[in-house]
C-alpha cells in the first residue's frame, strides 16, 4: 500500500487545494507553519490558529508575499478553548465561506518529560487541553461546516509515542493515543454517512522547536525539515484521498527526498 500511495502522492496535480477552505491549528511555527505555506501555495483559503499573534502575522506576511491568497489569522490559546468559543469560530467561518473543506489539528505542547508517578496535575490538564480537548471542541463545532463540503477532511497529528507507550513521555504520549482514538472513532462514525475522511499522521522526528525541546542534545541538521512531509499532508487534504478513511500514517514513509 505504501508504494502505491507514494505514486499517487507523486502524481498529485499542481494547485490540488485550489479554493479549498482549510483551518490549521498551531500554524505559527514548525510543521503547522510549513503546512500553511504549502496549502496557500496550492491555492487554499486558510484560517490559521496559533498562540502568538506576532508569529501568526509573520506567517500571514509570508503567504501574502508568496501566493495569491490571504489567510485569516486567529491568535488564541487553545488551552482555554471551550465548546462555546469553538462555536463562535465556526460561526465566523460560516459567515465568510459557508463551508469548511479541511482541518489540520496540529497544535500541541510537549509538557514535562517525567514519570506518571510524578507528573504534575495542572500540566497534565494543560497538555490534554491543547493536544486533545481543543480538537474535540473544534470537531464538534466544525462538523456541520465539514459536512457542507464535497470532500471534508480531518487530519490529526500523532506521534510514535501515541502508538506505543514510552516511559517519561507522560501526558503528551497519552494525549496522542487519545488523538488516534478520536480519529478512528470519527472515521467509523462518518465514513459511511458523510464525505468526511479522517486521518492521523505521525510526522516523526522533524526539525522544530518542539523537537529541540524533546531532544536538546541532537544536532538539528540531522533532522528533516517540516516541508519534506508536505506532499503527504497535501494529498490527504485533497479530494484525491476520498477512497481512504481512518488510516494512521508515518510521514517518513512518504516524505519527499
Ligand atoms: P512546534 O512547537 O514547533 O509548534 C507548535 C505549534 O502549536 C505552534 O504554532 C504553537 O503556537 C502552537 N501551539 C502550542 N500551544 C498552543 C496553544 N496553547 N494554543 C494555540 N497554539 C498552540 O511543534 P511541531 O511543529 O514540532 O509539532 C507539530 C505537531 O507535530 C504536534 O502535534 C507534535 O506533537 C507533532 N509531532 C512533532 C514531531 C517533531 O519531531 N517535531 C514528532 C512527532 C509529532 P505558538 O508558536 O504561537 O506558541
Question: Are 164 and 229 a contacting pair, CB within 8 Å?
Answer: no
Q: What pLDDT does residue 257 have?
A: 64
- The string of pLDDT tens digits covering residues 102-154 is 999 999 999 999 999 999 999 999 999 999 999 999 999 999 999 999 999 99
- pLDDT bucket at 256, cuts 50 / 70 / 90: confident
Ligand 1 in contact with 130 (CB < 6 A)? Answer: yes
For residue 91, give the C-alpha cell: 460561526
Which CATH number characterizes residue 221's domain?
3.40.50.720
172 in active site: yes
Sheet holding 21-25, edge to edge: 72-75, 45-50, 21-25, 102-105, 153-157, 197-202, 248-250
Average pLDDT over residues 33-50: 98
Instruction: Quote the domain boundaries for residue 163.
Output: 2-253
How many domains in the chain?
1
Mean per-residue pLDDT over the chain, rounded: 97
Nearest to 153 by CA among 109, 113, 110, 200: 200
CA–CA–CA angle 81, 87, 92 (5° rounding): 110
Q: Whose CA is nearest to atom 10 of ligand 1?
A: 26
Ligand 1 in contact with 31 (CB < 6 A)? Answer: yes
CA distance 98 to 31: 27
Question: Are 46 and 36 a contacting pair, CB within 8 Å?
Answer: yes
Ligand 1 in contact with 175 (CB < 6 A)? Answer: no
Amino acid at each position: 500500500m505504501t508504494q502505491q500511495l507514494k505514486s499517487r502522492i507523486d502524481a498529485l496535480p499542481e494547485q490540488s487545494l485550489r479554493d479549498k477552505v482549510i483551518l490549521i491549528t498551531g500554524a505559527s511555527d514548525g510543521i503547522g507553519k510549513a503546512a500553511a505555506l504549502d496549502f496557500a501555495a496550492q491555492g487554499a483559503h486558510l484560517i490559521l490558529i496559533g498562540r502568538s499573534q506576532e508569529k501568526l502575522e509573520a506567517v500571514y506576511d509570508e503567504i501574502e508575499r508568496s501566493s495569491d491568497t490571504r489567510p485569516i489569522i486567529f491568535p488564541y490559546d487553545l488551552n482555554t478553548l471551550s465548546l462555546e468559543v469553538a462555536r463562535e469560530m465556526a460561526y465566523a467561518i460560516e459567515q465568510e465561506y459557508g463551508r469548511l473543506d479541511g482541518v489540520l489539528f496540529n497544535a500541541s505542547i510537549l509538557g514535562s518529560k517525567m514519570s506518571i508517578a510524578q507528573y504534575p496535575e495542572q500540566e497534565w490538564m494543560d497538555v490534554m487541553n491543547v493536544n486533545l480537548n481543543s480538537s474535540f471542541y473544534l470537531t464538534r463545532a466544525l462538523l456541520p461546516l465539514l459536512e457542507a463540503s464535497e470532500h471534508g477532511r480531518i487530519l490529526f497529528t500523532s506521534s510514535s509515542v501515541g502508538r506505543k507507550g514510552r516511559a517519561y513521555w507522560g501526558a503528551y504520549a497519552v494525549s496522542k493515543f487519545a488523538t488516534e482514538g478520536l480519529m478512528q472513532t470519527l472515521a467509523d462514525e462518518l465514513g459511511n454517512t458523510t464525505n468526511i475522511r479522517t486521518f492521523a499522521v505521525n510526522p516523526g522526528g522533524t526539525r522544530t522547536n518542539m523537537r529541540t525541546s524533546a531532544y536538546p542534545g541532537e544536532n538539528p541538521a540531522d533532522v528533516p525539515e517540516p516541508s519534506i512531509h508536505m506532499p503527504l499532508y497535501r494529498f490527504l487534504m485533497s479530494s484525491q484521498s476520498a477512497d481512504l478513511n481512518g488510516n494512521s500514517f508515518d510521514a517518513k514513509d512518504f516524505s519527499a527526498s
